Homo-oligomer: A and B are copies of this chain.
Amino acid sequence: MTESKRNITPISNLGEFGLIERLTNKIKLKNSSSLKGIGDDAAVLSFANKHIVVTTDLLTEGVHFNLMYTPLKHLGYKSVVVNLSDVAAMNAIPKQITVSLALSSKFSVEAVELLYEGISLACEKYGVDLIGGDTTSSLTGLTISVTAIGECEPEQIVYRSGAKKNDLICVTGDLGGAYTGLQLLERENEVFKVNKNIQPQFDGKDYILGRQLKPEARTDMRNIFSELKIKPTSMIDISDGLSSEIMHICKQSQVGAKIFEEKIPMDEQTKNMALELNINPLVAALNGGEDYELLFTVPVSDYDKVKNHPDITIIGHIADATEGTALVTGAGSEIELMAQGWNPLKE
């Protein structure tokens, strides 16, 4: 193999986005049916009067999930939902998925069936057809690859790149729950490893556990936008943490942003758990990830339409690119945001 003669740069030097950029920056789309390739939540293809969107995620055991505390049914459900969330972030309607599994010999038929029960439940709930896949073996652990396809009227697709100065920055739901839920599960798992007789302490933590183990995709927002008569100027799903996602929108829209600490929506359970774990709740919301809420921007003229909607919180506004991407604290000082979200390729 010739690669041994080349320079060696650890992948951790670049991180996930750097690696993808390096690998894909020379790729040019050739077909007229490829409207949008790499660089958004999903690819956009046009075969006729509807556009289709295609997105895919790969989950590996020990990196994306720990089977010590993740029930296989929940894992199956979540592996579908994280892809549907990307479809929702394009303002498209998910229609089909493919699911590929690589399984080591430790998995039984019944274990895989449990995984599929979760996959089927997600398909049922979101009206999606499982239309294909591949099932094969691996030397170690479980790998899950899901591809989701959605459809959308061409004029309804929302990219990351459309945010304009003064647009309102909005999020759905609340943030940080999935991360604090994960930290709780990790803590109880460590306790369990030391003493197998100790029962986990999950009382009153049902909300954040659900956020981590059984997240939902905000496919409902498309209808809400329609009812409110708004179309976001940009949108992304919050999978890696609010900071990271805002920076994606700012980079692709060539704008800056200001978000306000006190506006960031967090559930009481999230705040309490963070404090119990000695984590700043704000850090859980900004950098925790896996909330699968939507981050989007709307023109400031839509303020009255979004200000009182129970599913939407305005957290800031788009600024000029020269103003950077900043968090305004309760005390009024500005802190430059950094993408410190979860990055599986960073050591």
Contacts and interface: CB of A to CB of B under 8 A. Distances in A.
A143 interface: yes
State how many copies of this chain the complex holds. 2
Contact of A114 (B3, B8, B128): B3
A8 B111 CA distance: 8
Given A58-B101, A103-B345, A116-B23, A11 B140 contact: no
A306 to B, nearest CB: 30
A143 B147 contact: no
A14 B112 CA distance: 12
B100 A56 contact: yes
A134 B128 CA distance: 21
Given A45-B131, A135-B19, A95 B34 contact: yes
Contact of A132 (B10, B43, B134, B141): B43
Nearest to A35: B131
B58 A134 contact: yes
Contacts of A134: 56-58, 145
Given A11-B108, A58-B136, A60-B137, 18 more contacts: A16-B136, A27-B120, A29-B129, A33-B96, A45-B52, A45-B96, A47-B50, A54-B98, A54-B131, A56-B132, A57-B134, A59-B136, A62-B139, A63-B139, A103-B345, A134-B145, A138-B141, A139-B140
25 contacts: A1-B72, A9-B110, A10-B105, A12-B105, A19-B112, A20-B135, A23-B113, A24-B116, A24-B130, A27-B129, A37-B131, A42-B132, A45-B131, A47-B47, A48-B49, A57-B134, A60-B137, A63-B102, A63-B139, A102-B143, A136-B344, A136-B345, A137-B344, A138-B141, A143-B145
